[in-house]
Amino acid sequence: CIIVNRYVYDNIISKGIVKSLFIPPVTYPYDVGKWISLFTFSKFIELGDTVFLVIRRKKLIFLHWYHHSTVLLFCWYALARRVPFTIHFAGMNYFVHSIMYLYYFCTNIGLYHVVSHVAFLITLLQVTQMVLGMGIVSITYFHRKSYPELNLDTPLFWAFAMYFSYFLLFAGFFVKRYMKKPKRE
């Protein structure tokens, strides 16, 4: 969502990347807080693409169901704990998903031949998102002692575990799908 990304961008520019990671969610303007809440609720809606895959009798890969279930759990955890650095995750995810779901829409209305080359870029964006996510967690981890009142050790552990596992899975998917040459028989 543009509102969330604009808020993150403005805070990075005005306060710097480090301070932008520690802005308490209770201080977010109403419209930003509303979009963060909607982001969290959207994780249930995103399970809908899993339903469509099952209805179409498509094979669900481990990456798909693992990603959807753990993102859902982490987003609710982060919202309940009011974890500040996760707004950056939401901004990245809104951006990547806006492109990804537009691609899915186009492929489902018969425009696959027009957008087929975008699949590679979407997976590359997803891998990049995971690298940036681990970077955000790492920066937050190294500066957390300046903000002891936020008690971020547990959320940082789960965030890093989540992003690192996603990185391994998305990078593996990327290599398998786009870099390995098909075997000739």
For residue 75, the surrounding DSSP H or E stretch is helix 62-81
Does 67 participate in catalysis according to the annotation?
yes
The DSSP string of 17-37 is: HHHHTT--GGGS-HHHHHHHH
Distances (CA, A) of 106 to 4, 51, 173: 25, 19, 22
Tokens at residue 149, please? 């009142």
Residues in the chain: 185
Of these residues, 67, 68, 97, 117, which one is catalytic? 67
CB atoms within 10 A of CB 10: 11
Tell me, rounded to whole angstroms, the distance of Cα 70 from its chain centroid: 11
Distance CA 169, CA 62 (A): 9
Phi, psi of 151 (to 5 degrees): 45, 65
Residues with catalytic function: 67
